[in-house]
Amino acid sequence: KDRERRYQTAGELARDLEHYLAGEPIEARRDSALYVLKKMMMRYRVPTAAAAVLLFSGYGFGATMTGLYQQAQGEAKRASEEVERMKEPYTRLLEKIAGNRIDPVTDSFSTMLRKRDNVRRELEGFANQTVEFMVDDRLLGRDYARFACDTMPRLTGRLLRVGQGQAHTTLEAAAEQMEPGDTILLGQGTYKLPPRRSWRDVAFVGQGREQTVLHLQLETATRVRIAGVHIDCQNNEFLDLRNGGSVQIRDCLIDNYNSGAGGSNAVFASGSVLLVEGCVFEGRSGRMAKRDHGGRVFDLRGTNVLYARATRFVDNSEVVRASNLCVFDDCESLNRLRSDFGIMPYRGGRVLLRKNRVTVHKGDGPEPIEFSTSSDDAAVAQELRGVGRAGKSEILAGLEALHLDRDPRYWAVLLMHAEQEVRFLASGRLAALLRGLLPKPPKPPQPPKVAEKLPAPVEELRTHGVRAATVLRWLDYNARDLSWDAKAGCYKLERR
């Protein structure tokens, strides 16, 4: 029907026939697909237009969906990478926390302090994070035996005498021969402990605060006991434990303390465990006597724990600024000063009080907690052993949470209890917990060559103290290899 596609003359048809017969290309040919399609589109314009719209719409939809799918895949991948990136520090944090969980049976206070410091360092930058430590400070504070365990020197029974007519006339001479496990018995007089890099597992025992005067300044002390002396600080601190430590102070008078900068304090400590019992701190003395305030007794920074029992604080402007766990058990304050800040609970500080007669001024920390029963009370020990009357101890459930009934260190400390019945209970419980594992009891110490009777604190250390120290020393070495056999109700020793 298209005139332009026809032969215009007969001659054109004849020439095309000749080309065909000669095998040459001809001008006449079948309509191409493009030509036919073009003709169909021109003849059916409306359907063709509709089909074209559908075709291009489908193509556009497919292309769009493909693009969206690829975009979604890319975004999902980026989101997954972002989630992993954000999870990584939290995963590390959780691993650190898991690795620093507290075991109330095997961990000492020092270990607990280290673990808590580790976690707190990890939590820096995670402002809203909270950590459960398994063990509540309110329970730990009532566990007097744990404080005693962590500060008790592991004594061997060896005794070095210092004084007139003794093997050592000066403390300096005795210090040259001191070894871990020794007890130094100071006679009547005044003594000065020479500077030394570190003291470990030693006890200094005097004839009483009225007869023995001791000048000292300890900077590194691990399980050191000072008892029965008048500590004259000579306008200094007598404890300056900036790198941690563990010290017992019993039946001592402490005065003339002054840090020299920013006021006065007797004890400066960081990362330390302190047990103070039966002492008197007189603050308004030395350089501070001319001022209206007597300074602070304890300057505790960093992570510390303090247990003060049956101790008097006389004329001190402040007993402690408690930013950590502090326990005051049957203590009193006798102040005649213009200002008396007493106990100041600060952020992070937990204060426990029993029979309290020390002023408490509210800082910005939690409210102090009153308690009436301590873990070394005879009733508690008997209940844990199963021979007491149910309900005597208000904190029995809490102490069970600390697993004191199966804590060998707890029962080892009770070997030094004042009541014979409790010591007997402790001995039996240790034998049951560590069946066949305990070392043989040490031989009784040799009687002194001189006729004079040893002071009661020294006798206590040389008998019950050495026995308890023997068990604790063994536990110090083997605690990590002990595993609890719940079925047998005792520990097994498995070397790792």
Per the model's pLDDT, the better-predicted residue between 154 and 9 turns out to be 154
Res 21 pLDDT > 80: no
pLDDT-derived band at 456 (thresholds 50, 70, 90) equals confident
Which DSSP category does 168 fall into? Answer: B
Instruction: Transcribe 361-384 into DSSP letters.
Output: ---SSPPPEE----TTSHHHHHHH
Predicted pLDDT of residue 288: 47
Predicted pLDDT of residue 209: 92
Give CA–CA dist 73/334, Å, rounded: 75
Per the model's pLDDT, the better-predicted residue between 93 and 101 turns out to be 101
Residues 225-274 have pLDDT tens digits of: 999 999 998 888 889 998 889 999 999 999 988 655 555 788 989 889 99
Predicted pLDDT of residue 162: 93
Give CA–CA dist 382/108, Å, rounded: 23
* 300 contact partners, CB below 8 Å, separation of at least 6: 267, 268, 269, 270, 272, 306, 320, 321, 322, 323, 324, 326
Res 75 pLDDT > 60: yes
Predicted pLDDT of residue 120: 63
Predicted pLDDT of residue 382: 87
- Which fold is adopted by the domain 136-372? Pectate Lyase C-like (2.160.20)
Report residue 384 CA to chain centroid gap.
26
Predicted pLDDT of residue 9: 60
Cα-based distances in Å from 316 to 126, 263, 264: 39, 11, 9
Lowest-pLDDT choice from 106-110, 181-185, 208-212, 375-379: 106-110
Predicted pLDDT of residue 237: 85
Res 327 pLDDT > 80: yes
Residues 200-217 have pLDDT tens digits of: 999 999 999 999 999 988
Predicted pLDDT of residue 119: 67
Lowest-pLDDT choice from 159-163, 285-289, 378-382: 285-289
Residues 407-439 have pLDDT tens digits of: 999 999 999 998 999 999 999 999 999 998 887
Q: 280 and 486 in contact (C-beta within 8 Å)?
A: no
The model carries a pTM of 0.74
Per the model's pLDDT, the better-predicted residue between 119 and 187 turns out to be 187
Residues 354-364 have pLDDT tens digits of: 999 998 887 77
Please, which residues bridge with residue 492 across strands? Answer: 483
* 37 contact partners, CB below 8 Å, separation of at least 6: none
Per the model's pLDDT, the better-predicted residue between 107 and 288 turns out to be 107
Per the model's pLDDT, the better-predicted residue between 422 and 69 turns out to be 422
Predicted pLDDT of residue 123: 61
For the chain, give the percent of residues with pLDDT over 90.
31
Predicted pLDDT of residue 43: 66
Res 446 pLDDT > 70: no
Most confident option among 136-145, 269-278, 288-297, 392-401: 269-278
pLDDT-derived band at 3 (thresholds 50, 70, 90) equals low
Predicted pLDDT of residue 379: 86
Q: 123 and 93 in contact (C-beta within 8 Å)?
A: yes
Predicted pLDDT of residue 96: 63
Compute the C-alpha angle 288/292/298, nearest 5°.
55
Res 55 pLDDT > 60: yes
Per the model's pLDDT, the better-predicted residue between 43 and 152 turns out to be 152
Q: Residue 334 corresponds to which amino acid? A: L
Please, which residues bridge with residue 329 across strands? Answer: 309, 354
Cβ atoms within 10 Å, residue 78: 10
Q: 190 and 211 in contact (C-beta within 8 Å)?
A: no
Give CA–CA dist 422/428, Å, rounded: 10
Mean pLDDT estimate for the chain: 79
Predicted pLDDT of residue 384: 86
Which of these, 286, 300, 226, lies nearest to 457 by C-alpha position? 226
| SS3 letters across 201-262 | EEEEECCCCCCEEEECCECCEEEEEEECCEEEEEEECCEEECCCEEEEEECCEEEEECCCCC
Mean pLDDT computed over 65-76: 72
Which of these, 316, 216, 306, 308, lies nearest to 270 by C-alpha position? 306
Give CA–CA dist 143/105, Å, rounded: 12
